[in-house]
């Protein structure tokens, strides 16, 4: 399979790097404080969705009703915990496979950008040594609708000046694959529930399999 496209848009978490364990630990601290049962199975439902939508999923098991102001405070509390955990990340969290593949795609002339719902995207990229690498970054600070809405990918394509139909999206979440397709882009599934979800155009065997597809 050889796709003749001009740009590659990457989801961040679960594709470029992995911060799932930090998300889980931060939500777990909050849930425990609120007396709400939370485990890794529930955590899997949070993949690719916004911070507030994640909180709403967690609160499904709560007998309490909270105001929007309280919910906003909860998400900030979780994010403060999460950001402290993220400080443990370093360039060592970027694999040679990812680094070498990104460099080869750049050498081949592709525009490379990030499309992530996370508001911590730029901080994470800085921690792993990719702060200035991508041509553009669209993240949770740029959008009002999270995946499966295509807003973040359309914003990413707009920032690099490439038409959506000339963009390939690499995702590890089903919601991200759906967002890519809704935006008129080619969707490549890598890991997670993106693989064989029924909406993807192609299942990648590994990150460097991109070099065989593009």
**Residue numbers annotated as active site:** 11, 13
In angstroms, the CA 183 to CA 177 distance is: 10
Spatial CB neighbours of 21, under 8 Å, sequence gap ≥ 6 = none
Helices (H), ranges, the chain: 20-34, 40-44, 51-59, 68-86, 96-107, 121-127, 151-160, 174-182, 210-213
Tokens of 80: 């403060």
Q: Which residues pair with 186 in a beta bridge?
A: 168
């Amino acid at each position: 399979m050889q796709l003749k496209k001009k740009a590659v848009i990457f989801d961040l978490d679960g594709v470029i790097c992995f911060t799932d364990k930090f998300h889980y630990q931060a939500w777990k601290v909050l849930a425990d404080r609120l007396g709400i049962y939370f485990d890794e199975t529930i955590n899997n439902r949070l993949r690719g969705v916004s911070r507030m939508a994640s909180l709403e999923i967690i609160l499904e098991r709560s007998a309490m009703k909270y105001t929007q102001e309280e919910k906003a405070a909860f998400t900030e509390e979780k994010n403060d915990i999460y950001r402290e955990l993220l400080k443990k990340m370093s360039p060592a969290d970027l694999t040679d496979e990812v680094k070498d593949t990104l460099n080869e795609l750049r050498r081949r002339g592709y525009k490379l950008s990030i499309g992530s719902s996370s508001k911590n995207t730029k901080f994470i990229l800085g921690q792993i040594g990719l702060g200035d690498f991508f041509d553009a970054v669209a993240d949770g600070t740029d959008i009002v609708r999270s995946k499966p809405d295509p807003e973040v990918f359309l914003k990413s394509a707009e920032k690099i000046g490439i038409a959506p139909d000339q963009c390939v999206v690499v995702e590890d979440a089903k919601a991200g694959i759906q967002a890519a397709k809704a935006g008129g882009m080619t969707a490549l599934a890598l890991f997670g529930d993106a693989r064989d979800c029924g909406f993807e155009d192609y299942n990648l065997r590994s990150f460097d399999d991109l070099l065989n597809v593009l």
